[in-house]
């Protein structure tokens, strides 16, 4: 058998082994982080020249060395796309809009004491850069996932960065998707230099308030390097998935869901969690059967062999507990009462319930967002959403009576902390002195 994931009996693993099995690397290794940080510093000091230099070194630039894709190339791109692809893009966009529109935050107002009003008001960001992986791959779906929530949020200036392919061209499907979405600014640049250019700005690239979107290790490392200069969505590493199945599941369909995220890259992490060892063997057998017919079979095989886990649980409850510890980006559940099992696993970013819910549906068509936390960060982050494209502010309004009610508390705590000017600011209002 060519696919050889690590196999473990969950009842026999030690706490240390369990921690090792559930710990993954969402943050790039130190060497990549150092290299990306150097690229970011180059772009910050040299601007376009550094973007072009690193683009020539790592790929992603236009054939003529330019950075901005001509507007007419974006606008004409739909002429070169088949009608069925255009229809699929429009359908996907419509579904993402439908799912994300209710997410727009609404303000709230509370009165903790008479004469005291505290509001929370949400406002969209002014500008956002959406990073879309590209080059040898093609991700118009990621463009949709980044742009549509930003538009619903009300972001005024949305730009896209995506690397050109080996021929020095941005794929026409990506350009057509941007055209349908009404995006007129696309920069042909990739990796750390793209994130840095969006964060710092150059003569060609406008500086943005926030950079969002999935990417490889250098993109992730660059996001960490620019955090503080501008906002970023979340650090996310290679794609990953966990699949829980009982013996009533269809082994062929479980195998399909195992392979779905594995084909993203050889570094993808996959966990198959089952309640019966023979069923795990059946799933692996179905994978072996299917691999020769799949275009990325070598990638799938490498991912499962290098980063695959087959975990044998004594019960669905134990399987769910392990999945929650693993905190997957994608989680497919093939069990009796799958919806109930889903509720047992809060630490999963995107959950696919039952036989008829493939992960591919979420990647392309349900309208759920596929920009997701990886590496266990689903414990503390969620999917990209409309609220990621804005910020909250607090607005506080007191009248005299309200300040009088709060004055004893304010003065007591201010003096306890040694801040006499804080206390003075109360007295000067109420008493005319301190």
Taking the C-alpha atoms of residue 404 and residue 195, their distance in angstroms, rounded to an integer, is 50
Token duo for residue 275: 């309640």
Q: Identify the DSSP state of 267.
A: T
Nearest-angstrom CA–CA distance, 249 and 355: 8
The 10 Å Cβ neighbour count of residue 77 is 21
Cα–Cα distance for residue pair 180/75, rounded to 1 Å: 9
Helical residues (DSSP H) of 188-250, grouped into ranges: 191-200, 217-226
Which residues are marked as active site?
A: 329-330
**Do residues 11 and 314 touch, judged by C-beta distance below 8 A?**
yes
Q: According to the 3-state scheme, what is the secondary structure of 141-155?
A: HHHHHHHHHHHHHCC
Residues 368/383, Cβ–Cβ less than 8 Å: yes
Query: How far is it, in rounded angstroms, from Cα 261 to Cα 242?
Result: 9
Residues 148 and 114 sit within 8 Å (Cβ to Cβ): no
3-state SS class at 227: strand
* 3-class secondary structure, 74: helix
Helices first, then strands: H and E counts in the chain? 17, 14
| Residue with token string 């969505």 | 233
* CB-CB contact of 60 with 166 (8 Å): no
């Amino acid at each position: 058998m060519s696919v050889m994931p690590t196999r473990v009996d969950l009842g026999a693993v030690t706490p240390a082994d369990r921690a090792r099995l559930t710990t993954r690397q969402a943050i790039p290794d130190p060497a990549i982080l150092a290299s990306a940080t150097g690229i970011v510093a180059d772009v910050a000091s040299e601007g376009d020249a550094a973007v072009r230099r690193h683009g020539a070194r790592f790929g992603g630039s236009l054939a003529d060395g330019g950075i901005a894709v001509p507007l007419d190339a974006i606008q004409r791109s739909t002429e070169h796309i088949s009608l069925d692809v255009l229809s699929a893009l429009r359908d996907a966009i419509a579904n993402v809009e439908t799912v994300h529109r209710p997410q727009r935050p609404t303000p709230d107002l509370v009165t903790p004491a008479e004469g005291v009003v505290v509001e929370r008001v949400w406002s969209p960001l002014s500008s956002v850069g959406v990073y879309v992986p590209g080059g040898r791959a093609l991700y118009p779906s990621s463009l949709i996932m980044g742009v549509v929530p930003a538009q619903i949020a009300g972001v005024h200036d949305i730009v896209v960065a995506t690397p050109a392919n080996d021929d020095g061209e941005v794929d026409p499907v990506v350009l057509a998707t941007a055209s349908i979405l009404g995006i007129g600014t696309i920069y042909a640049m990739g990796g750390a230099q793209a994130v840095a250019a969006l964060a710092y700005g150059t003569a060609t690239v406008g500086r943005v308030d926030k950079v969002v979107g999935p990417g490889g290790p250098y993109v992730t490392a660059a996001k960490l390097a620019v955090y503080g200069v501008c906002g970023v969505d979340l650090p996310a590493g290679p794609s990953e998935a966990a699949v829980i199945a009982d013996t009533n599941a269809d082994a062929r369909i479980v195998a399909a869901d195992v392979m779905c995220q594995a084909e993203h890259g050889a570094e993808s992490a996959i966990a198959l969690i089952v309640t019966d060892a023979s069923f795990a063997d059946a799933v692996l057998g179905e994978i072996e059967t299917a691999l020769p017919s799949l275009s990325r079979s070598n990638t799938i095989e490498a991912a499962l062999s290098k980063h695959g886990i087959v975990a044998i649980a004594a019960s669905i409850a134990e399987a769910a507990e392990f999945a929650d510890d693993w905190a997957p980006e994608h989680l497919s559940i093939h069990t009796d009462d799958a919806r109930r099992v889903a509720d047992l696993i809060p630490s999963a970013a995107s959950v696919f319930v039952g036989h008829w819910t493939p992960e591919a549906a979420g990647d392309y068509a349900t309208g759920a967002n596929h920009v997701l936390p990886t590496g266990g960060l689903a414990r503390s982050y969620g999917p990209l959403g409309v609220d990621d494209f804005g910020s909250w502010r607090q607005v506080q309004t007191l009248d005299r009576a309200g300040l009088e009610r709060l004055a004893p508390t304010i003065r007591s705590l201010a003096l306890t902390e040694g801040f006499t000017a804080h206390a003075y600011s109360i007295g000067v209002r109420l008493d005319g002195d301190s």
